[in-house]
Structure formats: C-alpha cells, structure tokens
Structure 1
C-alpha cells in the first residue's frame, strides 16, 4: 500500500492509461530535447579549388598590373603610352578599356616631337602562364582600336604581342 492507503496494483485501467500517456509524453519530450542538443552531422562540403586569379598585364619593368590607369607601349623610348584607361571588364580571358593613346609624332625628330592624343579602345587577351610566377597568367596580346583617327602609319585596328621571351642564356 502507498501512503493513501491504496494498493498500487488496485489502480484501474484509466489510471494506467494516464500513466502510460504521461510516460510517453515525457519520453517524447526527452527525445526531442536530446535531438536538439546533439548537432546534426552534415556531410562536409566537397573541397573545391579556389578560382584562379584573373590574368595580369606585365609592364616594362616586369611588374604585374591589374586595371592600370596608364600603360607604356614603347618601353625603349617612352614615345607611346596609353593614359586615362577606364576598364569596362577584366576577366579570365579578356580585359577591355577605353582611353587615350599618346604618341610622339617625332617631328622633326623624337626629342623635339609633340605627343598627340588618339582616342582608343584597348583589349587585352590570350592569357598564358607567366614563367617563374606559378599560378599567374599574363595577357599576351593587346589590340588597339582607334575610335577616331590613328597615328600615321598605324592602321585603325592593330594587335601587338605583349609577351617577349628573353633570349636563351648561353651555356659554357
């Protein structure tokens, strides 16, 4: 007998049903709390390689440039340079800009010549691996499309190679 004077086994079917219902609810609540407390094991995302950085354009001093405001085309004498470049795109395959090509007219000779402005659209393309710079691509061609007149005798649409490989080192 319990303190109330009733035998535990004397409970009726209704009391047993309530007890089982309470026990079921308590067990369900405990399971829900346990499930909330245990972190779900999510599958690890597949490791993906970071995207390769966009190519660079290499200047006359072998320095990588991205979206330069100016770019020297005539490294030897400085008589041709792109200025006021505004880049519309710079991506993994091409880069495009508008700007001005300042060209020395070399009249009567280059030291006494005047720099003349020519509006131009610039396109860099054909990225290639840059030797001795792992993971870096460099644009290898530049296209100049003069939107008005072109400096004589240059055609209005001209493409130049930007990649100059040094001569091989002689072996003894």
Structure 2
C-alpha cells in the first residue's frame, strides 16, 4: 500500500513534458512534381533528365527561414553521353533559404534558394560553393 501511494505521489509530482503543437503549415521545398516536401531524404535538382539529385539527406535544422542538411550530390558525368554515363557522388552541405509565399498554395511558404557547399571535390565545372534559385 505504501509503495502504491509513493508511486501515485511520484506520478502527480512529475508533470508531463509540454509538447509544442506542430506547425500545420511548415515552410516547404517544392519538388519537380510540384509537391511540397518537408525534410526530404532525396531531392532531384535536374528535373528534366534526373541526372543530378541529392541523396541521403540528414536534416540538422528545418526552420522558418532556413533549413540545413548534409548528404550526397549524385551527378551523372554524361561520358560519353548521359545515357552511358556514370553517377558520381560528392559529399555536400545543403542550405535552403529565402522562403516566399507559394503562389498556387495560399498560406504556404516555400524555400526559393538552395546553396550547395561541397565538402570535398565538386563536379566539374561547378564551384565548391554554389547557389541556385528554386523556380518550380
């Protein structure tokens, strides 16, 4: 009986951890298919032919103004042509930024800039630190 009373007292004395409600409309990144993504594991950069994609993305942050991940940029070397080329991997840090309203989805913000910082070598002729606008 004493043990039960002690357990009950401990349960009352230890308040449950407060959980912040999830943001129903987080900032998203829009993919090649016009779908909203939050912390995607993969992201295609070359929508036309799929010859450049980010893979194995591990998100460190995903906030209202920026998101940062590490992963691998998989780039087809297109030698002798893209159909016969080999995909080569490049370690990269990815930063999404510049959220703006998504015109076709009222109330939703989407990241409009992606920065790729290659932590080893970069695919030629790309610089080790490049920034692109996300237009889709």
TM range, smaller chain:
0.7 to 0.9
Greater RCO, 1 or 2 (C-alpha within 8 Å, sep 6+): 2
In the other structure, the counterpart of 2:54 is 82
Once the 2 structures are TM-superposed, how far is the Cα of residue 51 of structure 1 from its aligned partner?
6.4
2: CA distance, partners of 1:139 / 1:148: 26
Following the alignment from structure 1 to structure 2, what is the Cα–Cα distance between the partners of residues 132 and 103? Answer: 30
Residue of structure 1 equivalent to 2:67: 95
Larger radius of gyration: 1
Q: Is the 8 A contact 1:52 1:135 kept in 2?
A: no
Please state if 1:152 is matched with 2:124: yes
Output the CA distance in 1 between the equivalents of 2:64 and 2:26: 5
TM-score by length of 2: 0.82
Distance 1:56 1:146 in 2: 23
Higher helix share: 1
What's the counterpart of residue 3 of structure 1?
Answer: none
C-alpha displacement of 1:81 = 0.2
> Which residue of structure 1 lines up, in the alignment, with residue 44 of structure 2?
72
Q: Distance in 1 between matches of 2:105 and 2:41?
A: 23
Does 2:111 correspond to 1:139? yes
Q: How far off its partner does 1:134 sit?
A: 1.1
Distance, in Å, in 2 between the alignment partners of 1:124 and 1:140 is: 7
* Higher strand proportion (structure 1 or 2): 2
What is the TM-score normalised by the length of structure 1? 0.65
The separation in 2 between residues aligned to 1:159 and 1:112, in whole angstroms, is: 28
